[in-house]
């Protein structure tokens, strides 16, 4: 019976080391899954790179029913009130404004108006009408009065 050479010993050791590493990695993955929750059904949160920083390109408006509206900062700053909300002295690092008094339907219409205002304010010629559902008139009036738009 021939004794295994040093080279063969090294090969065996490497294979064993690889197996140990794989076992460790599997154990780590299992720990992460346990920490994240049962199963992997929840999708990872979406991160908008344009929302970060003091002068981010986008800002987020959240309605009272947790609908999020990500719009351009230049549109949001059409309203001086919103502009002040975004530039609080303490810093609004997340560039998010929680609007607990506005539902998603009204906030959606408000965002549509901001876009319409930007598009047509300096446009010459015929402009598209901005339709307002009669059921939304009262809520929109309150919102428009508050945000001064």
Partner 1 sequence: MSDEESDNDNGLFPNLGSTNTDSREVRVRFVNRCPYPVDVFWLSSEKKPTKFGTLRQKQFLDIRTYKNHPWVARRSFDGFKLKLNEKAVFWPQPGSPNVIVRTYCFITAKVLSLKEMASRSLVIQNPAIVPEDLSLPRDLQFDIRGFLDKKKEYSEIVCRSIPPPVRRPPQSPPSSQ
What is the binding site for partner 1 (CB under 8 A)? 110, 113, 116-117, 120-121, 124-127, 129-130, 132, 134, 136-138, 140-145, 148-149
The number of angstroms, rounded, from the C-alpha of 112 to the middle of its chain's C-alpha atoms is: 19
Closest separation between CB of residue 137 and partner 1, Å? 4
Closest separation between CB of residue 111 and partner 1, Å? 11
Closest separation between CB of residue 36 and partner 1, Å? 43
Nearer to partner 1, 34 or 126 (CB): 126
Residues with Cβ within 8 Å of residue 74, at least 6 apart in sequence:
118
Instruction: Tell which residue, 67, 75, 139, 134, has the closest CA to residue 104.
Output: 67
Asked if residue 104 lies in contact with residue 63, where contact means CB atoms within 8 angstroms, the answer is: yes
């Amino acid at each position: 019976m021939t004794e295994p050479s040093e080279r063969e010993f090294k090969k065996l050791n490497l294979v064993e080391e690889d197996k140990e590493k794989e076992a460790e990695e599997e154990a780590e993955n299992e720990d992460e899954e346990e920490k994240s929750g049962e199963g992997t059904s929840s999708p990872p949160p979406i991160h908008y790179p344009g929302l970060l920083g003091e002068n981010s390109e986008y800002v987020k408006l959240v309605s009272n029913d947790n609908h999020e509206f990500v719009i351009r900062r230049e549109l949001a700053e059409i309203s001086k009130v919103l502009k002040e909300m975004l530039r609080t002295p303490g810093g609004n690092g997340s560039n998010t404004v929680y609007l607990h008094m506005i539902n998603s339907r009204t906030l959606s219409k408000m965002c549509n108006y901001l876009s319409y205002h930007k598009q047509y304010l300096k446009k010459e010629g015929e402009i598209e009408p901005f339709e307002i559902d009669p059921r939304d008139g009262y809520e929109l009036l309150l919102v428009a009065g508050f945000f001064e738009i």
